[in-house]
Copies of this chain bind each other. A is one copy, B any other.
Amino acid sequence: MSQLTIVDLAKRLGLSKSTVSRAFRDNVDINPATKARILAMAEEIGFSPNVYASSLKANKSLTIAIIIPEFGNKFFSQAIKGIEAVARSKGYHTLIYVTDHQVQNEASIVRSLANGRVDGVIISASGEGKDHSHLQLLAERGIPVMFFDRAYDDWKGGYITGNDFDSAYLATKHLINNACKRIAYLAINPNVSIGKVRKDGYEKALQEAEMPIRPELILDTVNDAEQNMKDIAGLIEQEKPDAIFASVERLAISSIRVAKRHAIRIPEDLKIICFSCLDIADLIDPALSVVKQPAYEMGELVTKYLLDKMEDPTNDKFANSVYLNSQLIFQKSSLR
């Protein structure tokens, strides 16, 4: 309750507050014995220096922020776990924000951070909208930003993601090799990087196999499971695809539910594969084929890069994109 300060400590010990302050910093000249005395007393009365006073002084917060669009799947929880682990190991604290795919939420969150609250920001982009001026705010403040998994088309800074183009290409090719002729693609927002890149991989595989890219087999989805179920049911009924490649896990789950409901057999009538970090994909009926991204590693790496960038903001090295290899796991849902 009582707000202890270094002055209180100093008085009790008959020292000045600067000496007490020094005891809590490294690399400063202080008599080891004095330091020990101070730390012992601090321990005894339960004192530790007020972080906001320190932050104000140092103009550093030792805090980073994560902004993600959703929390619905293992990908993000694993990534956050990686982020938090690295951050904490380096003495940083991690603020978390969920935008629910609303860019305006992302913008308002970013605005609330651009006043010294954080030293760096990690974002997985929340959606469309041409206006990413909120990112400009961080740039003006010199607050480094790294994106992971999802970035905006026009983002020129650092970005860690999976090798989604290749993975999507290989996943589609796998379906083709398993005799699929009408492969539907369930897309998310194409304004977000992964929406576009994954679709490009899908299209390349079709082209390479000299199969037509049929726009009617490409379904643009929304952030509403019920609506998506309807749309997927409509797609299946009208277009009779023999395979579905879902760009994100929740669309594959919806597809499986639709299939069950309509007595469509997987994989006999319809094969399914999707991007997913689900650790129990093998226990689903039927075992779900997945493109599994290294979520935890991605979280670790994006944080390492961010912290490095914070140390050396001008280094161009951190403005590049890094692609981590995903793992393709073919199981019953996509096999002939």
Tell me the A residues contacting B by CB distance below 8 Å.
1, 3, 46, 48-53, 55-56, 59, 61, 63, 71-72, 76-78, 80-81, 84-85, 88, 93-98, 109, 111-112, 114-117, 137, 140-142, 253, 256-257, 280, 283-286
B61 in contact with A71 (CB, 8 Å)? no
* A–B Cβ pairs within 8 angstroms, 24 of them: A46-B137, A46-B140, A46-B141, A48-B111, A48-B115, A50-B56, A50-B115, A52-B117, A53-B56, A56-B56, A71-B77, A71-B78, A72-B77, A80-B96, A84-B96, A84-B98, A85-B98, A88-B97, A93-B95, A95-B95, A95-B96, A280-B284, A283-B285, A285-B285
The listed residue with most B CB atoms (<10 A of its CB), out of A56, A80, A97, A253, is A56
8 closest residue pairs by CB, A with B = A285-B285, A1-B142, A48-B115, A52-B55, A52-B56, A71-B81, A96-B96, A50-B116
A72 cross-chain contacts in B, Cβ below 8 A: 77
A97 cross-chain contacts in B, Cβ below 8 A: 84, 88, 94
A52-B55, A95-B94, A284-B285 in contact; A140/B88 too (CB < 8 A)? no
| Bound Cα distance A7, B152 (Å) | 36
